[in-house]
A = this chain, B = another copy of it.
């Protein structure tokens, strides 16, 4: 069975923790302990987020100041290297030595006409006071939006269209390699109008759940799992009536509404995968990974279900 997982940012860095190499490595080790039993039984592809890491690299670049901070495609490539390395090393340490590993730099094509470019929504980096945000907006042509009572930079988050390294990933899976790919949602690239032969990087961020979903779908994975803070998708989250959804059909789940910033994209990605492939998608907590695969924890989305089944 081929399992594609998308590791949430908090699998790599817990809220409030300093983003030291040591803290990241410790969290990656915890993630690796959850992933190792799956890797031992199945073919495995590991995708992951990079939000805090890319934010730190941008801050470090800005603090140094002597060189213009690198654009997001380049910073994204740096984080694919850094995070991929930690996952490959830590997960590798828990596997038989003979099991091959490959971390592949992953470029993903986006559409220059994607409506996301007209309406940037993805928060990036630290929060600022209004005054500082206005100054940076003027100086760097950044776009800011309000986040709580502060202001934060936003960039476009277009949909992923094509994964350029898909064939190498398939070839490596044929050899049962554990493949780490599409990190941080992949490096955003596009063919600009009038330059159809020249792929270039784009100053934007692709949602890692959508990127991993595209990868899982193109690989025809048997199971696509998004690992996050929450142990399930909930209805009425935070209300006395909240209930965990254990299983759902894509149609029934899409008829409900979920927060755009958190569970919304995951639900959308899960439904898209399940509808397109007829295979199962799941959302749940890293610590429950084995039980999610067994259908005992998390939320599984499948066309074999006709409605919504809640947890006991």
Chain A residues near B (Cβ < 8 Å): 18-21, 56-57, 59-61, 63-68, 70-71, 73-74, 77-82, 84-86, 88-89, 92-93, 100-105, 107, 164-165, 167-168, 171-172, 175, 177, 180, 187, 189, 197-201
Contact = CB atoms under 8 A, between A and B. Distances in A.
A84 B77 contact: yes
Most buried by B among A56, A70, A82: A82
A168 B102 contact: yes
Contact of A63 (B63, B78, B105): B63
Contacts of A101: 164-165, 168
B78 A201 contact: no
B67 A19 contact: yes
Contact of A77 (B68, B73, B85): B85
A197 B199 CA distance: 42
B189 A89 contact: yes
Contact of A78 (B68, B78, B93, B107): B78
9 contacts: A63-B64, A74-B82, A81-B81, A81-B105, A85-B105, A85-B107, A101-B165, A104-B104, A168-B172
B199 A92 contact: yes
Contact of A81 (B59, B77, B93): B77
Given A64-B63, A175-B171, A105 B88 contact: yes
Contacts of A74: 21, 82, 85-86
Nearest to A104: B102
A105 B105 CA distance: 8
Closest 3 pairs between A and B when the two form their complex, measured CB to CB: A81-B81, A77-B85, A103-B105
Contacts of A21: 68, 70-71, 74
Given A21-B68, A168-B172, 18 more contacts: A20-B68, A56-B64, A56-B67, A57-B60, A59-B64, A60-B60, A60-B61, A77-B82, A77-B84, A77-B86, A79-B81, A80-B85, A81-B81, A89-B189, A93-B197, A101-B164, A168-B177, A171-B172
Contacts of A19: 67
Nearest to A195: B93
Nearest to A77: B85
A279 to B, nearest CB: 26
Contacts of A100: 165, 167-168
A98 to B, nearest CB: 9
A198 B25 CA distance: 13
A18 B67 CA distance: 7
Nearest to A93: B198
Contacts of A66: 18
Residue in A19, A64, A81 with the greatest tally of chain B CB atoms within 10 Å: A81
Contact of A89 (B68, B167, B197, B201): B201
A82 B85 contact: no
Given A78-B78, A88-B105, A102-B104, A64 B73 contact: no
